[in-house]
Amino acid sequence: MKLILGLVLPLVLAMALTLLVGVQDAGLGNLWNALFVFDPADPAQVVIHSVRLPRLVAGCIAGAGLGMAGTIMQAVTRNPLADPGLLGVNAGAAFAVVVGALLLGSPDNGMIAALTFPGAALASVAVFLLGGARTGAAGPVRLTLAGVALNALLLSLISAVILARSEVLEVFRFWVTGSLAQANTRPLLAMTGTLVIGTGLALLAAPRIEALALGSALARGLGTRPARVQLVALAAITLMTGSAVAVAGPIAFLGLIVPPLSRRLSRHHLRREIFVSAVLGATIILLADTVGRLVVAPAEIRVGIMTALIGAPAFILVVRRLKPGALT
């Protein structure tokens, strides 16, 4: 009960700040009216209903999706450096969107959302294969280097596309750093459903993912098929990351910050870690977005930049705490 309260209360506070705080603050009365007795003639209610509420939903989707994806990636690979951003999954989704914009002209928001999933899936498979996860040889450095290399390759290809076709630049501006500013134009309902499916897959596979932590040989002895479990985990990661990128663009480091906190709070119980990661991820991204909107108001700092400011020191801290034997 204490754990639930300790997670839910900060999330509720972050949600309230997202809805109430901005260039023009709104009162609790305006919030109540906007949610339950909406008056389209009231500017304050329109801002809450049409701008801040979609932003809240998008933040919850992106934060929960990336938090859970990072937790699953670290559990499957036994790699504390695994993160959808660092391992190139976000870049894969963004690359697919930019290529789609090149081939299709100006794709609508539904098409953009659809393009993120094959990009995320291909990047996930590439990093896992290059990093040796399929054979059980994936160490933190090997997987991280594979992700960094893939990330650099995809960013180079994106730059080449932009140089060739300048009209793609407007699409790239959104996808180069994550943002919730365009949340009201994103397919939030569809991405919520996609995230729920990915979460369901992760919860179903969680006991077998925990068995993989004992080693491939012992996991097989317990009746677990490592290849099948990794495939299900990759599907869950793709759905989670794809839904997050579809509504907020690529947001780095969130999948790295959340899993260590969730492991400590849930005492290394994977299903509980998934739940905790979802709540923590949503809370962190909503708070980061609120701070980003306030510090340079009326302009804003994109949430992807805010999470990077937090995540880069966290990454260095995780690397420094790794035992020497883990870096092989």
Residue 314 lies in a domain: yes
Exposure of 252 by Cβ count < 10 A (0-12 exposed, 13-18 middle, 19+ buried)? buried
Tell me what pLDDT residue 220 has: 67
Tell me what pLDDT residue 109 has: 66
Residue 155 lies in a domain: yes
Tell me what pLDDT residue 168 has: 67
- pTM score, two decimals? 0.86
Tell me what pLDDT residue 74 has: 86
Residue 4 lies in a domain: no
- List the one residue out of 28, 115, 120 whose CA is nearest residue 66: 120
Tell me what pLDDT residue 172 has: 65
Tell me what pLDDT residue 60 has: 95
How far apart are the C-alpha atoms of 169 and 10, rounded to whole Å? 37
Q: What is the DSSP letter of 222?
A: T
Residues 6+ apart with CB under 8 A from 160: none
Tell me what pLDDT residue 300 has: 82
How far apart are the C-alpha atoms of 180 and 183, rounded to whole Å? 5
Spatial contact of 31 and 48, defined as CB atoms under 8 Å apart:
yes
Residue 219 lies in a domain: yes
How far apart are the C-alpha atoms of 308 and 314, rounded to whole Å? 9
The CATH number of residue 176's host domain is 1.10.3470.10
Tell me what pLDDT residue 197 has: 95
Residue 31 lies in a domain: no
Task: State the residue for tokens 């076709």.
Answer: 165
Residue 43 lies in a domain: no
- List the one residue out of 194, 260, 198, 278 whose CA is nearest residue 232: 198
Range of the domain at 134: 66-75+82-319
Q: What is the pLDDT along the chain (328 residues), one digit of tens a residue?
A: 677 778 889 999 999 999 888 777 777 887 888 788 878 888 888 888 888 999 999 999 999 999 999 999 888 877 777 778 777 787 888 788 778 777 776 666 677 777 888 888 888 788 777 766 556 555 556 767 787 888 888 878 877 777 777 666 666 666 666 788 888 888 889 899 999 999 999 999 888 888 776 666 666 666 666 777 878 888 898 899 888 988 888 787 888 889 988 988 888 788 999 999 999 999 999 999 998 888 877 778 888 888 888 777 776 776 676 665 554 5
Residue 311 lies in a domain: yes
Residue 39 lies in a domain: no
The count of domains in the chain is 1
